[in-house]
Amino acid sequence: MSGTAFVLSSGGNRGALEIGALLALLEHGLTPDILVGCSVGAINAAGLAVNPSLEGVQNIAQLWMRAQQEEVFRGNYLSMARRLLAGRNSLFPNRYLKRFVENHLPLGFRCFADLKEVALYIVAADLNTGRLHVFGEDPSESLVDAIMASCAAIPYFPPWTYRGHQYIDGGALSALPLGVALEKGATEIYAIDVNYVEEAKEPIRGWLNILSRVASMVAYQQFLNDLKWAQYLGLARVHHIPIKYHRRLPLWDLSYSAEMIEVGRKAAEDFLSQAGAN
């Protein structure tokens, strides 16, 4: 399938930045033929796929602004410590995230075959094969299971088992899966990057922060390799939209979503204005 692709990166609670960028893209008359999402980008991409319009993005924005920590991340530092000491697979259980995903997918959208207007692909890392799995290539695959697999961010959520395989966050291998959009024949790609790796001005401290930084570096290098490949072969016009956010928040803090949406919208509008001038 040729056409325009929107690629949405991983990024945890920074996913609200993606919604702002999507609002700007749709407001400028840009619509996707292909959607590719990773981790929180999978949630946003699936939400847009069921209603690929400005109204659809506005609906997702409302969900982000209403979302509460307790809906997804049920627990606190004490419960996280208990789970860690008990040898559990994650700091948070994933049943609340699953309920959140199920409640926000409209009736009639249970597998990829139910999506008629755009092609949706969701990436996850397959622990059994050690490779990136692209959900959506098999239209019978479950949307909820694909999202849960892609959102299984270690160590926050446990691996997700589906059809006999264990999956973790696709960001472990490809945080901004540009390569998938290229493989599916996209000729114009808008890559919304809320996992942008900036130079660290201060020492990284704390094992969670160090682990997160390492994972981001590895996945971001994969994106840079894909970008060079696309530019060298002339496969597609790639518009990389990195979005920076000044607050350093724990993954479970969803209280700044409205602010993030506005930051994401402005970043994308600035990008589109500069692109139009060039």
Interval 256-274: pLDDT, tens? 999 999 999 999 999 999 8
* Number of structural domains found in the chain: 1
Interval 173-187: pLDDT, tens? 888 999 999 999 999
Strands 160-162 and 165-169: antiparallel
**Confidence (pTM):** 0.90
Question: Would you say residue 42 lies in a domain?
Answer: yes
Checking if the pLDDT of 144 tops 80, the result is: yes
**Residue 106 tokens, joined:** 């409209």
CATH of the domain at 85: 3.40.1090.10
Question: Would you say residue 230 lies in a domain?
Answer: yes
- The CA-to-CA distance between both ends of the chain, in Å, stands at 28
> Residues 133, 125: contact at Cβ < 8 Å?
yes
Work out the pLDDT band at 277, boundaries 50, 70, 90. Answer: very low
Mean pLDDT over 9-38 rounds to 96
Question: Would you say residue 223 lies in a domain?
Answer: yes
> Residues 92, 74: contact at Cβ < 8 Å?
yes
Q: Which residue has the higher pLDDT, 174 or 168?
A: 168
Cα dist from 161 to 16, 103, 107, 147, whole Å: 27, 20, 23, 12
Question: Would you say residue 245 lies in a domain?
Answer: yes
Interval 95-113: pLDDT, tens? 889 998 998 888 889 999 9
**Residue 194 tokens, joined:** 């809320």
Checking if the pLDDT of 71 tops 90, the result is: no
> Residues 36, 45: contact at Cβ < 8 Å?
yes
Question: Would you say residue 278 lies in a domain?
Answer: no
Beta partners for residue 168, in sequence order = 125
Enclosing domain of residue 136: 3-273
